[in-house]
A and B are shown apart, each in its own frame.
Chain A
Amino acid sequence: MNDTVQLSNLSTKLMRLVIVGHVDHGKSTLVGRLLADTDSLAKGKMQFVQDICDRQGKVFEFAFLLDALEEEQEQGITIDTSQIFFKTRKRSYVIIDAPGHKEFLKNMVTGAANAEAAFLLIDAFEGVQEQSRRHGYILKLLGLTQVAVVVNKMDMVKYDPEVYYRIKAEFSSFLNPLGIEPRMFIPISAKLGVNVARRGDEMPWYKGPTILEMADQFEKRPPQDHLPFRMPVQDIYKFDPRRIVAGRVESGKVRVGDKVVFSPSNKTGVVKTIEGWSVPTPPAEACSSQSVGFTLTEQLFVERGEIVSLADQPLPIVSTTFDANVFWMGKRRLEKERNYTLKLTTQEVVCEIVGFRKVIDASTLETLGDQDYLVKNDVAELTIKTRQPVVFDQFGVIAETGRFVLVDDYDVCGGGIITTYSPTAKKDKLRDEVRLRDFHWAASKITPDQRAYRNGHRAALILLTGKAGVGKAVLAQLLEEKLFHNNFQSYLLDGRNVRLGVGADMDNDRYFGDGEAVRRFGEVAKLFLDAGHVVISTSNTFNQEDHSDIRMLAEPSPVVEILISDQPRTHGEVDIVLTPEEAGKKSETVNKIYNYLKDKKILVGHNYSI
């Protein structure tokens, strides 16, 4: 049956309200009352509930208007969130009735995460309870700070103002430190309909708004158009000749002709069209919360998960580590040394918790000692490390791209907001440098393809790795020569030469201490790569991590790694592994590498003859 009245599009924007609070404090009764007292119910619905109550030998339960499940009515408890449509003279609402029992916190979160404002209910007779506080904390975590507190069941305390003021004082001192300043404390009796839709004369000492008046005072969340543009790529469609990048604009605006950047790939393009079907004219711009699709002037290979931003606006952050506030709803603990899937916008990456900075019992705000795990219903400040870089903003800057969920097995078990990110890790700093460099790079009129055609090879970086004394340097020289004699542009970039000139401003400690050696070497290599060369690198001072930094600096040019070692390969990126013995057979080895480069289509041969 249709539970509520019809809402018209004419009442345009919908306000989404959630009702939260401790179990049995009267949330569903309040919502039922609101529906009944505003004539929002379908014909026969009151009678339908009356019949159920008669059969159970109960007085009329307004809560049953919401609690439709047999199990809910039998036990007089809400199990899952209901969303009900409802309207006042001013506007339309979705009222989300959340369950109060601790067992169903995940359902409460499901409801509250969708709301723009909240009523937090307290039973006047029972006072502030465990879930009153926990729900308060969760609202804060969800970024829902537009809150009014409702002191319900005033009929059970003879409408005594003392009780009201005591609860107001006690709960304010809990909420205020969280950053929640309740808009109002409203004393009501949901059951009897006092101060719900109409004001009774039971509490002449209260001059504030009724529930209905308060609801009309909450403010709609404004559109996020003024923020930097963010569109997570949802999918790429190629149903016809158009190659459409599809996604939802989470914030900001984009227009035809705008230069866009994809993160983390750092690819850039220009918006050619914004597509639409069955619309009078193709749109010229797309704004926040629109699900759109655009084409680019040039075909780019981009994938789901990347975030599109505008080249002339602040870029989102790309990193593998960040700090977050997380709430946990899983049956199993959240703990270290286990893998979880982190879902942030359309990104999905494997992550683990590397540090529990502060674990909090959300019902008391007590810090739980040195605990380094999180149990159901608790919250923590923690540090997360992901296997691949993720793209995000801080929650306080752009909420939509600053929040995530954690999946354990098949289920969403936790949610979190990203509080702080500072590029303290060397790698993060380097990544930021690369992005900045790439976006502002003054591109040559000669394209990499043109250079490759002329040179007979693509630009590539060849890394010779392995311990000192295994013969890397000799091989590197021979390889450079062999390529040169075959008319290729090869250059052996020696780390020592970079140190002597480009690094002359620093003493050894600083140069080798904080990654400058790698950074400068990588940046010089990048210039040679941009010029189209095959760059051969060898240096005893670089370790494994340094090589991965050099790779990052060299992107998007291909990197070929040749490891000389008698140990089995240690990581997946190595192209060729040679024992020192094999490497000793120099000309054979050089030929092997040469052929490998041909196979990899790095050396493609010249297209002209002299």
Chain B
Amino acid sequence: MDHLDELENQSVFILREAYKKFKNLAMLWSIGKDSTVLLWLARKAFFGQCPIPLVHIDTSYKIPKMIEYRDKIAKEWGVTLVVGQNKKALDEGMNHAKGRIVCCEALKTQGLQQIMEDKGYTGLILGIRRDEEGTRAKERYFSPRDKNFEWNFKDQPPELWDQFKTTFAEGTHIRIHPLLHWTELNVWEYIDREKIPIIDLYFSNAEGKRYRSLGCAPCTFPIDSQARTVPEIIEELKSTTVSERSGRAQDQENTYAMQKLRARGYM
């Protein structure tokens, strides 16, 4: 077994635990590389199927190509797609000009909260990774969120020997993070090995720019890059010291922006 096999096997184990333990389970699909790898791993875990519905939170500001890709893959792979949107906030004119953090909270966090209440999901699978930023480095594989959707990062349950927190009080839910132990480079190496079809926004365009991380059009900026293929991206990543989320404006709002967002239920 090489390192990618180890990562894959651990993720498959976690996905199967989640599927067994949560009657009402959903998986967040942001269309980006991580959650698409997650979807691929689910098909590995369940021998070709993805028996877990995929939830996409549509802020309406997504890069249009993302929606196109989403619907194409969903159809080809025969997955159940549930789209959530905070219509009320959009009707009231919410956008990033009102403040990036405010906007993320309304359209993403609350959008997610609404669909979870609607559908009664008690378990939510997300593709976050420890190497993304400091608070994610402290996450658990199975991470409880309270009635108000909040993350009590100061008092997390112990997690040892792959015995996860799968029991919880009424009204609360569990976030499940099967990709926690992967790095950005691992994700690309796996995409390369498995030949996973990835949205082409990640590849360098005519202007010599590519997205390293995908989000809403107004708050996500492409980087200068000549990488046009997966192996070229892998080569590029091996030599860069620039962080993955540096093109994500909400992270840079202030020192503890991500902690605040995530404590209140952001992904």
Task: Determine whether the beta carbon of B186 is less than 8 Å from that of A7.
Answer: yes
- Contact between B137 and A3, CB atoms less than 8 A apart: yes
A253 at interface, CB cutoff 8 A: no
B243 touches A43 (CB 8 A): yes
Give the contacts of A50-105 with B (CB-CB under 8 A): 51-52, 66, 68-71, 79-85, 92, 94
Q: Report the tally of A-B residue pairs with Cβ distances under 8 A.
A: 191
Instruction: List the B side residues contacting A81 at CB < 8 Å.
Output: 138
CB distance from B13 to the nearest CB of A (A): 5
Q: How far is the CA of A497 from the CA of B132 in the complex (A)?
A: 75
A142 to chain B, nearest CB (A): 8
A2 touches B244 (CB 8 A): yes
Name A11's closest neighbour in chain B (CB-CB).
Answer: B3
Establish whether residues A70 and B161, one from each chain, have CB atoms under 8 Å apart when the complex forms.
Answer: no
The docked-state distance in angstroms from the alpha carbon of A240 to that of B19 is 17
Return the chain B residue nearest A2 by Cβ. B243
Chain B positions 116-150 with a Cβ under 8 Å from a chain A Cβ: 130-135, 137-138, 140
**Interface hit among B25-33, B59-67, B84-92, B152-160:** B152-160
> Given the interface contacts A287-B1, A411-B165, does A70 sit within 8 Å of B241 by beta carbon?
no
Considering the complex of A and B, which 8 residue pairs feature the smallest CB-CB distances, nearest first? A68-B134, A2-B243, A113-B160, A6-B185, A291-B12, A106-B158, A42-B243, A1-B243
CB within 8 Å for A234 and B13 given contacts A107-B156, A410-B169: yes
> Which residues 181-212 in A have Cβ within 8 Å of B in the complex?
none
Answer yes or no: B194 CB below 8 A from chain A CBs. yes
- Asked if B256 is at the interface of the complex by the 8 Å CB criterion, the answer is yes
Neighbouring B residues of A289 by C-beta, 8 Å: 1, 6, 9
Contact A5 B154 (CB under 8 A): no
B256 touches A70 (CB 8 A): yes
Within the complex, what minimum Cβ distance (angstroms) separates A220 from chain B? 11
Chain A nearest CB, measured from B145 CB (Å): 13
A26 at the interface (CB under 8 A from B): no
A residues near B43, Cβ cutoff 8 Å: 277-278
Closest-CB distance, A278 to chain B (whole angstroms): 7
Residues of B228-253 whose CB lies within 8 A of A:
237-238, 240-246, 251
Which listed residue, B135, B137, B186, B255, touches A9 by the CB 8 Å rule? B186
In the assembled complex, how far is the CB of residue A405 from the closest CB belonging to chain B, in whole angstroms? 4
Q: A244 — nearest CB in chain B belongs to which residue?
A: B47
Assess whether A133 is interfacial by the CB under 8 Å rule: no
| B213 (CB) vs chain A CBs: closest residue | A2
28 A-B contact pairs sorted by A residue (CB < 8 Å): A2-B132, A2-B133, A6-B184, A12-B2, A13-B6, A14-B6, A41-B241, A48-B255, A52-B255, A68-B137, A69-B135, A79-B154, A82-B134, A83-B137, A85-B130, A85-B183, A110-B158, A235-B16, A235-B19, A237-B46, A237-B47, A240-B47, A275-B47, A277-B43, A278-B44, A329-B158, A404-B163, A415-B160
Complex contact B241–A42 (CB within 8 A) = yes
Chain A residue with the shortest CB-CB distance to B251: A1
Bound complex: CA of A45 vs CA of B185, how far in Å? 19
The answer to whether A8 touches B243, judged by C-beta atoms less than 8 angstroms apart, is no
Contact indicator B2/A9 (Cβ below 8 Å): yes
Other A-B contacts than A9-B189, A83-B137, A412-B157, 6 sampled, CB-CB below 8 A, are A48-B255, A84-B137, A109-B158, A113-B160, A239-B47, A277-B48
Chain B: number of interface residues, binned into ranges: 35 or more
Residues of A within 8 A of B13 (CB): 234, 248, 291
User: CB distance B9 to A412 under 8 Å?
Assistant: no
A82 and B51 contact, Cβ closer than 8 Å, known pairs A68-B133, A239-B46: no
Q: Does A260 belong to the interface (CB within 8 Å)?
A: no
B-contact bits for A4-36, CB 8 A (1 contact / 0 none)? 111111011110000000000000000000000
B58 interface residue per 8 A CB criterion: no
Q: Select which of B2, B46, B157, B238 is within 8 A of A6 by beta carbon.
A: B238
Distance between Cα atoms of A150 and B253 in the complex (Å)? 39
Asked whether, in the complex, the Cβ of B153 is within 8 Å of the Cβ of A80, the reply is yes
Taken together as a complex, chains A and B put the C-alpha atoms of A407 and B160 apart, in Å, by 12
Q: Is there contact, CB below 8 Å, between A82 and B241?
A: no
* Interface residues in chain A, defined as those with a beta carbon under 8 Å from any beta carbon in chain B: 1-9, 11-14, 39, 41-45, 48, 51-52, 66, 68-71, 79-85, 92, 94, 106-107, 109-110, 113-114, 142, 223, 234-235, 237, 239-240, 242, 244, 246, 248, 275-278, 287, 289-291, 293, 304, 329, 343, 400, 403-405, 407, 410-413, 415
* Assembled-state Cα–Cα distance A14/B185 (Å): 14
Chain B residues in 8 Å Cβ range of A83: 130, 137, 181
Check: B49 CB closer than 8 A to any chain A CB.
Answer: yes
CA distance A53 to B25 in the complex (A): 43
- A413 partner residues in chain B, CB cutoff 8 A: 158
| Interface hub of A68, A84, A106 (most chain B Cβ within 10 A) | A68
Q: Determine the chain B residues whose CB is within 8 A of the CB of A84 once the complex forms.
A: 130-131, 137
CB-CB nearest in chain A for B239: A6
Chain B residues with Cβ below 8 Å from A275 are: 47
Interface residues of B in 39-55 (CB under 8 A from A): 43-49, 51
Chain B residues within 8 Å of A237, by CB: 46-47
| Cβ of B69 under 8 Å from chain A | no
B133 lies within 8 A of A8 (CB): no
Binary A-proximity of B177-188 (CB < 8 A = 1, otherwise 0): 000010111100
State which of A110, A223, A239 has its C-beta within 8 Å of the C-beta of B160. Answer: A110
Asked whether, in the complex, the Cβ of A3 is within 8 Å of the Cβ of B160, the reply is no
Residues on A with C-beta less than 8 A from B245 are 1-2
Taking the nearest CB of chain A, how far is it from the CB of B201, in angstroms? Answer: 19
0/1 per residue, B1-22, Cβ < 8 Å to A?
A: 1111110011011001101100
B226 close to chain A: CB less than 8 A:
no
- Residues of A within 8 Å of B5, CB to CB, are 290
A412 with B159, Cβ < 8 A, contacts A3-B133, A13-B3, A42-B243 known: yes
The answer to whether residues A85 and B17 also contact, given A2-B243, A68-B259, A113-B160 and a CB cut-off of 8 A, is no
Judge whether A44 and B3 touch: CB under 8 Å: no
**B137 and A82: CB pair below 8 A?**
yes
Chain A residues lying within 8 Å of B241, measured Cβ to Cβ, are 5, 39, 41-43
- From residue A276, how far is it (CB to closest CB) to chain B in Å? 8
User: How many Å lie between the Cα of A411 and that of B169 in the bound state?
Assistant: 10
In angstroms, Cα B44 to Cα A68, docked, is 34
CA distance A211 to B65 in the complex (A): 49
- Please indicate the chain B residues that have their CB under 8 angstroms from the CB of A110 in the complex: 140, 156, 158-160
